[in-house]
Amino acid sequence: MPAEPPPAGTDGPAPLLILGGHRCGTSLVSGLLWQAGLHMGTLLSAGPDNPRGFFESVDVLAAHEAILQAQERDWTCPPHRLDLNTVDLGPLAAVIDGLARGGRPWGVKDPRLLFLLPAWAEILPAIRLIGVLRHPAAAAASLAARNGFSPGVARAIADAHQARLAALHARLGFPIVDYDGPRAVLFDRVRAVAEAMGLAWDGEAAENLFDPGLRHQRPEGAGGSGYEALVAAGAQEAACPVHRSWQVAAALAAIPERDDEATPLVVGPAFPPRRDALWEFISTRGPTVSRVLDVVPEEGRREPLLHGVDRVEIDFAYSDREGRLRDGRPSVRYSHVLLTGVAETLPTAALTGLLAWLRDTSSTDAIVGLDALVVDETGVPPVKRWPRLSATSARSGPLHHHHLDEIEVAALESGWLVGDISPGPAGRSRVLLVKDPGRRAPGWLTSAERRHRMAALQEQAAALDAEVKALRQHLDRERRRNHLAYDALLKENADIRQMHHQEMGHLKAEVHRLRDLRTIRGWLGFQARRLRPGHVAAAIKRRRNLPD
């Protein structure tokens, strides 16, 4: 169970949380406020991508990363809705307590705050907020240049953070600083927040910190969801009110749910372990490893799969939403094929087409390993919500799930056989496809065979149920008969006791009568002795005083 967080940040002024996406200018805003006297704890050192400094707390960053790691996430793929029941808030609460202990105005900057704000609202009674806006195209270009992301991945990350900032601003109303706007307006917005926090604005230090040359990327194209509203808010002066924690929680709860992932999680921490687990599942099940095709959804990250295995040649390919491969080589005959996260991005027809292509580009005894959201039950809904799953590409719809029958039919139609299924993490199952029936797992049964065996087992179970029902009825009859016999014995015992009591009463009455007769007999005997003639004459004589 998550540790109960200690009380934190309950004394002193409400802290300031600086909200904004990665590469959006939050470091500049936090630096300006730090120079004005905002306490931010021990700060990260400057880096090549931020030579003026990040102005970000080392301890807050560590606590945030621990929360994301517990969710199998990182900064590239934060959870749309943080489940506080699965979060240990103790470390973050300890960090907050340390920042608030001095009683000085303090604040925090970290782009992860946009999605980890529920944790702060759970710990703190009140907060102040300020948002930093940058055109998502510029932010995405900066992310791509710094991290090597593809344009689609970088833009998805930038759009997700901007959409969350817009959703929070629409419900809470806090100052917005436009990083792309004029320097004077930017300074005015930050100075107003500093004055609201009781800080001393230092104009000269602000001029020295601001470097327009660090704006390497320029805003181009559409701004995305909520961008125009945020730009309009940044052009207006706004107060920096104190928000109670319940107000923040209500605003977070009002953000709509979504069926897909906002950012592509193939760049997150959960995807590489899935590939490693899938490779471990199939690497010893097929022929000798000679050539491997490693397929991931579009926007996936190219990474080495087999560490320290020199004799194996690996080709890397991307699968689009239609099941078409990019970078695959049809002339090569692969012995092993990995489809990590691909099945859940494809409908059954597209999956069948992809397997057919793999049939023609693999050896005669090749095997395929894929992970999929597999169900094997009747009445499966057309769309199934899988909680806490790591999606594998930027999509506009929910994850695809597949019934086991669908996978077997798709395999048969494309020249494969299902060889084994193993339950995997987060509701996913690992599926082995083979060409050679001899490579199927021992005791493996197809769906039809399983259904036939299941029907036989159900018949046996029905017979056992009928037998158990008959035994229960027999036991019920025996129980009722025993109850009747027991009641009869109780009644007979009561009758015997009653008869005994009656006979004892009669005997007692007879004893009393005999005792009374004995008493009467004694009295009559006494009277008879007194009335004998000799006694009577003697008595008369005594009364007359006559001699004998």
- Residue, of 148 and 460, whose pLDDT is higher: 460
pLDDT (tens digit, 9 = 90+) per residue, 178-197? 998 888 999 999 999 999 99
- Going edge to edge, which strands form the sheet with 417-423? 325-326, 313-319, 291-297, 334-339, 362-372, 429-434, 417-423
CB 391 within 8 A of CB 261: yes
* Residue 224, pLDDT above cutoff 90: no
The answer to whether residue 218 scores a pLDDT higher than 80 is no
Q: Is the pLDDT of residue 391 over 60?
A: no
Those residues whose C-beta lies under 8 Å from the C-beta of residue 261, and which sit 6 or more positions away, are 77, 80, 390, 391, 394, 395
Q: How distant, in Å, are the alpha carbons of 121, 141, 164 from that of 227?
A: 25, 17, 11
Burial of 498 per CB tally in 10 Å (0-12, 13-18, 19+)? exposed
pLDDT, residue 383, reads 37
Question: According to the model, what pLDDT value does residue 261 have?
Answer: 64
Q: What is the pLDDT of residues 275-296, one digit of tens each?
A: 888 888 998 888 888 888 989 8
pLDDT band at 492 (very low <50, low <70, confident <90, very high): very high
Mean pLDDT score of the chain, rounded to an integer? 83
pLDDT score for 128: 95
pLDDT of residue 5: 44
Q: Looking at the predicted structure, is the pLDDT value of residue 266 above 90?
A: no
Residue 271 has pLDDT above 90, yes or no: no
Note the pLDDT of residue 546: 56
The reported pLDDT for the residue numbered 277 is: 85
Exposed / middle / buried, residue 162 (Cβ in 10 Å: 0-12, 13-18, 19+): buried
| pLDDT greater than 80 at residue 544 | no
The whole-number pLDDT of residue 192 equals: 93
Higher pLDDT, 459 or 264: 459
26 within 8 A of 111, measured Cβ to Cβ: yes
What's the pLDDT score for residue 47?
81
Q: How far is the C-alpha of 369 from the C-alpha of 431, rounded, in Å?
A: 6
Q: In the numeric block, which tokens belong to residue 447?
A: 């769906």
- pLDDT of res. 259: 58
Residue 12 region by backbone torsions, left for phi larger than 0, else alpha for psi between -120 and 50, else beta: left
- As a whole-number percent, the residues of the chain with pLDDT over 90 amount to 44
Confidence of residue 4 (pLDDT cuts 50, 70, 90): very low
pLDDT, average across residues 27-36: 94
Q: Mean per-residue pLDDT for 8-31?
A: 84
Which percentage of the chain shows pLDDT scores above 70?
85
Average pLDDT over residues 369-378: 76
Residue 527: pLDDT above 90? Answer: no
| Predicted local distance difference test score (pLDDT) of residue 133 | 95
Per-residue pLDDT tens over the stretch 48-57: 878 888 999 9
